[in-house]
Structure 1
Amino acid sequence: MTNRITELFKIDYPIIQAGMIWNSGWRLASAASNAGILGLIGAGSMYPNVLREHIQKCKAATDKPFGVNVPMLYPNIEEIMNIIVDEGVNIVFTSAGNPKTWTSWLQDKGITVVHVVSSVKFALKAQDAGVDAIVAEGFEAGGHNGRDETTTLTLIPMVKEHLKIPLIAAGGIATGRAMLATMILGADAVQVGSRFVASHESSAHEAFKQVVVDAKEGDTQLTLKELAPVRLIKNKFYNEVQELYKKGTSAEELKELLGRARAKRGMFEGDLEDGELEIGQISGLIHNVKSVQDIVDDMLTEFVLAKNSVSLL
């Protein structure tokens, strides 16, 4: 299965495991890469010294390509980028910031740069900044999201219409059928997050993984737009946010309620009541925790079956 993305990353299959905070440590990234897809370490939840440790452990666990996802709004960004260069990482996915800031700097050091966007406008800005590929993420996705609430099914063909560089679809993709659908719409590959949260190798707390498995349609919601839009599971914390909205809240009141480290408490430490439980709408289709290899095998098998069934129409 060769195309522009498999050639760009030197991987076997056009699937990227998303670099999610508190879920995507070296175990998940190395398992993904060993399965023939691109594994990503999620730097957003890591102090610089922790990121260095995860990169080194990932290099020891796989001889396949892997990358690091870097949300550019986090502190210590210069130190993080220097660690990535020092450790010889060849692929960086950037998000939550201006791609012009780091793209040329990274590419001058031989690093392939991909930027995550949620709209045509930002896709074009990223392309103009010279990135090597783009992830276009629909608002079905878990975690931090676009403000426009554009769905993946709508976003991918609209971005594709204007794009010359490779396009990776994200948001609501956990099956081979969804992979085929987004590629028919113009994507060269898919980025998968929520399905890999519910994997044995994910660094998420086991209690959070079970919540993902138990989730049904309608159990997630995009909220906190005044701060940074985030899709999460409805729990006690979510209900407290909604109570503030009913009273006519301000951004400052929301910040005070949010506090610090809620995502860590929820996803990494397993506080299912007061933690922030970030996951995508597709969680309603995730019914078990599996190994990364089994997840990849399932997706590829379903992709081929779906492709063959469509060709018979």
Structure 2
Amino acid sequence: MQNKITTLFNIKHPIIQAGMIWNSGWRLASAASNSGILGLIGAGSMYPEVLRAHIQKCKKATSLPFGVNVPMLYPNIQEIMDIIVEEGVKIVFTSAGNPKTWTKWLQDQGIIVVHVVSSVKFALKAQEAGVDAVVAEGFEAGGHNGRDETTTLTLIPMVKEQLQIPLIAAGGIATGKAMLACMILGADGVQVGSRFVASEESSAHQAFKQVVVDAKEGDTQLTLKELAPVRLVKNKFYNDVQELYKTAPTLEQLKEFLGRARAKKGMFEGDLEEGELEIGQIAGLIHDIKPVAEIVKEMIEEFETAKASVSII
């Protein structure tokens, strides 16, 4: 399947494995790339030298294209970008910041730049900044999310209507049928996160992977909008946050309660009570933990079958 996204990244299938904190190390990224899609290392949970080590290991594990996802809100962002350039990474997905800040600088180093957005407004700002493609992520997605709560089904055609550059859909996509639906709505490719959390190569703790597999409809909720909206599994930490909201807390009180390393505690260390467990609504459709290659194979087969059935109608 060849289109704008496969051509842009030189990959076989128009699927991007999302660069998720505490889930997307070199093993996941290299397995994704070796499966014919674009693998991403999630830099958001890595100190600069840890990121360097993951990039180096990924280069040894795959000869195919891979990239790095970089949330731009971290204080050591310059060091992270320098390492990406020094290690010869050719694809960067940026998020959580102004795309104008780094897009031209990265492109001047020969790097393809994609920016993640949650609205038409920010998609157009990213296009104006000169990015090579945009990921439009709907409200269903896990982790940090948009405040407008626009769903993928609504967001993709609205962005497509105004965007001139390649569009990647994200949020609530874990199957070939969902991939086809997004592409019918105008996406050139899809970014998949939650499905790859429940993969053998994910760096997530096994206990967290099992939580994802066991999740049902309604087990996640968007919260902490005053800080940075995040979709979480409803565990003890989530319930404690809701109790705190009953006291009309200040921003400072919310920050103090959140503390540090909650996401690491939950997703990487497996503290299912006190940790942040970030996953998308689509977890209700994820029922097993599989190798990445098998996940990709099933998605593509389902996509092709669904595409053929639609053409018959």
User: What is the identity, as a one-letter code, of the residue corresponding to 2:208?
Assistant: F
| Structure 1 Cα separation of the partners of residues 212 and 257 of structure 2 | 24
User: What is the identity, as a one-letter code, of the residue corresponding to 2:34?
Assistant: N
Matches within 5 A, 1:151-230: 151-230=151-230
| Structure 1 Cα separation of the partners of residues 239 and 74 of structure 2 | 27
Shift >3 Å, 4+ stretches: none
Alignment-derived partner of residue 135 in structure 1? 135
1:58-80 Cα offsets, whole Å, 9 max, x none, are 00000000000000001210000
SS of alignment partner, residue 248 of structure 1: coil
| Structure 2 Cα separation of the partners of residues 306 and 70 of structure 1 | 34
| Structure 2 Cα separation of the partners of residues 6 and 46 of structure 1 | 28
- 1:246, CA displacement in angstroms? 1.4
1:63-111 Cα offsets, whole Å, 9 max, x none, are 0000000000012100000000000000000000000000000000100
| Structure 2 Cα separation of the partners of residues 178 and 61 of structure 1 | 29
Q: TM-score, normalised by structure 2?
A: 1.00
Matches within 5 A, 1:34-183: 34-183=34-183
| Structure 2 Cα separation of the partners of residues 248 and 85 of structure 1 | 45
User: What is the identity, as a one-letter code, of the residue corresponding to 1:250?
Assistant: T
User: What is the identity, as a one-letter code, of the residue corresponding to 1:46?
Assistant: M
SS of alignment partner, residue 161 of structure 1: helix
| Structure 2 Cα separation of the partners of residues 211 and 118 of structure 1 | 26
1:210-229 Cα offsets, whole Å, 9 max, x none, are 00000000000000000000
| Structure 2 Cα separation of the partners of residues 195 and 202 of structure 1 | 10
| Structure 1 Cα separation of the partners of residues 74 and 160 of structure 2 | 29
Alignment-derived partner of residue 282 in structure 1? 282
Percentage of pairs with the same residue: 83
Matches within 5 A, 1:227-242: 227-242=227-242
| Structure 2 Cα separation of the partners of residues 74 and 285 of structure 1 | 33
SS of alignment partner, residue 168 of structure 1: strand
| Structure 2 Cα separation of the partners of residues 295 and 246 of structure 1 | 42
Structure 2 unaligned spans of 5+: none
| Structure 1 Cα separation of the partners of residues 219 and 257 of structure 2 | 21
SS of alignment partner, residue 122 of structure 1: helix
| Structure 1 Cα separation of the partners of residues 199 and 133 of structure 2 | 27
- 1:158, CA displacement in angstroms? 0.2
Structure 1 unaligned spans of 5+: none
SS of alignment partner, residue 162 of structure 2: coil
- 1:293, CA displacement in angstroms? 0.2
Count of residue pairs the alignment pairs up: 313
User: What is the identity, as a one-letter code, of the residue corresponding to 1:285?
Assistant: L
SS of alignment partner, residue 204 of structure 1: coil
| Structure 2 Cα separation of the partners of residues 257 and 287 of structure 1 | 33
Please tell me the root mean square deviation across aligned C-alpha atoms, in Å: 0.4
Deviates more, 1:248-257 or 1:51-60: 248-257
1:252-304 Cα offsets, whole Å, 9 max, x none, are 11111100000000000000000000000000000000000000001000001
User: What is the identity, as a one-letter code, of the residue corresponding to 1:196?
Assistant: F
| Structure 2 Cα separation of the partners of residues 132 and 311 of structure 1 | 31
| Structure 1 Cα separation of the partners of residues 198 and 254 of structure 2 | 29
1:100-143 Cα offsets, whole Å, 9 max, x none, are 00000000010000000000000000000000000000010000
Alignment-derived partner of residue 257 in structure 1? 257
